Amino acid sequence: HLFLQESTLSPPSLTGKPGHPLRLTCKTSGFDLGSDRMHWVRQVPGKGLEWLLHYYSSSNSGFAPGIEDRVTVIKEDSKNVFDLIIKSPRVDDTAIYYCARDSHDYLDYWGQGTMMTVTNAVTTPPSLYHLLPYCGQSSSGGSVTVGCLASSYSPDPAIFTWRSNTNPITDQVETYPSVLNKNGLYTLSSQLTIAKSQLDNGNIYCKVAHESNACNDWAMLNDRQHGREE
C-alpha cells in the first residue's frame, strides 16, 4: 500500500507466488484525485525506473508495451484510491512499485514504494531462538541486551514485536536486515536493551510474525526460566 504526499507506507513489502493476483493500493491525500492523471512506475533491483502506465479514466490512459493485458487499474476518486492489480504476476515482476501524480510537467508527488516479490519458494516457517546475556554483563544494576532470532524461514519478510508483561515495547529495539542463506532461507534477528532489573522482575516477550502463521505465540525471555538464578 502506498500513500502519496504524507509519505506513509503500509506495508513496505508484498510477497506472492507466480500466477496468483497481487494488488498494490495507492492512497492519496492533499489533492483532488479526480482532477489528476496518475502513473505507476517500478524499479527492478539493480536497474533504472521503468514506466508502466498513466491513467485518468478508462478512456484516457496509456500503457507500456505488454502491460495493459496483464493489469487491472482501479481509480476510485471519491475514496482517493488508485489500485494496480497484477493479474498473473511472474518472478520477473519482482520490483519496487511507485504510484505518482502527474502535474502536467513532471511527476511531483510519489509514494515511498512497495517492494513486491514474486517467488516460487515454498513457505517455510521460522524457528525462534532466545538470546540471553550469560557472560560479560554485570550481575546487578545497569542494562542488558536480550535478543530473538528467527531462523530458516521463507519467504521474506518476517516482523518482530516485543512486550513487557502486557505492555508493548518499541524503544531501545533494534532489528537487523534479514540475511538470505545459501539454502535459500532467511534469518532475522532483533535485540532489546533494557534495565537488568526489568529482566529480573518482569517477563519480557518477543514474537515473530510470518505468513506461515506457525510462530504466533509470545516467547518469554526470563533469567530464571532459563536457569540463571542468582
- pLDDT reported for residue 140: 52
What is the rounded distance in angstroms from the CA atom of residue 53 to the CA atom of residue 60? 11
- pLDDT reported for residue 72: 97
- pLDDT reported for residue 141: 59
Secondary structure (3-state) at 201: helix
* Cβ–Cβ under 8 Å, residues 175 and 162: no
Domain boundaries for CATH 2.60.40.10 within the chain: 2-118, 127-221
- pLDDT reported for residue 217: 77
- pLDDT reported for residue 137: 55
Alpha carbons within 13 angstroms on the beta-carbon side of residue 33 total 23
- pLDDT reported for residue 230: 36
Retrieve residue 55's grid coordinates.
491513467
Beta bridge partners of 37: 102
Domain 127-221 maps to which CATH number in 3.40.1440.10, 1.10.645.10, 2.30.42.10, 2.60.40.10? 2.60.40.10
What is the rounded distance in angstroms from the CA atom of residue 184 to the CA atom of residue 181? 5
Phi, psi values for residue 137, rounded to 5°: -125, 150
Among residues 176, 187, 177, 178, the alpha carbon closest in space to that of 124 is found at 187
Cα dihedral sign, 59-64-70-73: negative
Q: pLDDT tens string for the chain (230 positions)?
A: 555 554 333 456 788 889 999 999 888 877 888 888 899 999 998 899 999 999 999 899 999 999 999 999 999 888 888 999 999 999 999 999 999 988 777 788 788 888 898 988 788 999 999 888 765 555 455 889 999 999 999 888 899 999 988 889 999 999 999 998 877 789 999 999 998 888 877 789 999 999 887 777 788 886 544 433 33
- Going from the C-alpha of 132 to that of each of 114, 171, 221, 224, the distances in angstroms are 35, 18, 7, 11
The one-letter amino acid at 179: V
Retrieve residue 59's grid coordinates.
478512456
DSSP letter, residue 78: G
Q: Is 2-118 a CATH 2.60.40.10 domain?
A: yes
